[in-house]
Chains A and B, each alone.
Chain A
Amino acid sequence: GENVEQHPSTLSVQEGDSAVIKCTYSDSASNYFPWYKQELGKRPQLIIDIRSNVGEKKDQRIAVTLNKTAKHFSLHITETQPEDSAVYFCAATLRDNYGQNFVFGPGTRLSVLP
């Protein structure tokens, strides 16, 4: 089955700096890679996703890159702000599977220091 690893487990950056979180997956059949942000005491929320036919996707200050050959994908946050402080989870699954078979990484706790 699929296995997703995520690094680092914790990350502290100064406000305004960039943050990068990396994930690797094991199943080459996976073709959908979402990222979730979970603030303290709140539900995980989908912030960006990428499909395997795309190498990069950007949405304002966040971007995700995918390297299918190496089976890894990364979340990039630029110009970090204190409200970016949260736990971030990556996941991998087969697209068009109606939400099934999502495998989540262990999470990265991001702290943005003012």
Chain B
Amino acid sequence: SAVISQKPSRDICQRGTSLTIQCQVDSQVTMMFWYRQQPGQSLTLIATANQGSEATYESGFVIDKFPISRPNLTFSTLTVSNMSPEDSSIYLCSVGSGPWAGELFFGEGSRLTVL
């Protein structure tokens, strides 16, 4: 399976600021995704990061709030813009990998706390 590295692993941010999370994969992958996990909750897909084109966002998530880049097949970034305390969550990068590229693997996550 792919090795997925995320940074920062955690951060404390001030209300109204923005933070960019980076995700690096050790091999080229077709599909990369960004998930949010609010405290004590399940995993919610924010968007699919498409290489060379705009990300595909799920209902309830918009590009202005969560701009995503994917410049190549091994790297993606997620920015959380104009943060509020409600954005305090773990943000997880994930990729489709494995022998048939359909198993989902997660990075270590980035724990954001917004004050």
Q: Is the CB of A43 within 8 A of B43?
A: no
Q: Give the residues in chain B near A99, CB-CB below 8 Å.
A: 31, 33, 94-97, 101-104
User: Which residues of B in the span 71-115 have a Cβ within 8 Å of any Cβ on A?
Assistant: 92, 94-97, 100-109
Could you count the A-B residue pairs with CB atoms below 8 Å apart for me: how many are there?
Answer: 57
Give the number of chain A interface residues (Cβ < 8 Å).
22
Q: Is the CB of A95 within 8 A of B43?
A: no
Bitwise, B23-56 to A at CB < 8 A (1) or not (0) is 0000000110100000001111100100000000
Q: Give the residues in chain B near A97, CB-CB below 8 Å.
A: 96, 102
Interface core residue of A44, A97, A107 (most chain B CB under 10 Å)? A44
Bitwise, A48-75 to B at CB < 8 A (1) or not (0) is 0100000000000000000000000000
Q: Is the CB of A44 within 8 A of B106?
A: yes
Residue of B nearest to A91 (CB): B104
Bitwise, A72-114 to B at CB < 8 A (1) or not (0) is 0000000000000000010101011111101011110000000
Binding site for B on A (CB under 8 A): 32, 34, 42-46, 49, 89, 91, 93, 95-100, 102, 104-107
Binding site for A on B (CB under 8 A): 30-31, 33, 41-45, 48, 92, 94-97, 100-109
Q: List 29 A-B contacts (CB under 8 A).
A: A32-B102, A34-B103, A34-B104, A43-B109, A44-B43, A44-B106, A89-B42, A93-B102, A95-B100, A95-B102, A97-B102, A98-B30, A98-B101, A98-B102, A99-B31, A99-B96, A99-B97, A99-B101, A99-B102, A99-B103, A99-B104, A100-B31, A100-B48, A102-B43, A102-B45, A104-B42, A104-B44, A106-B41, A107-B42
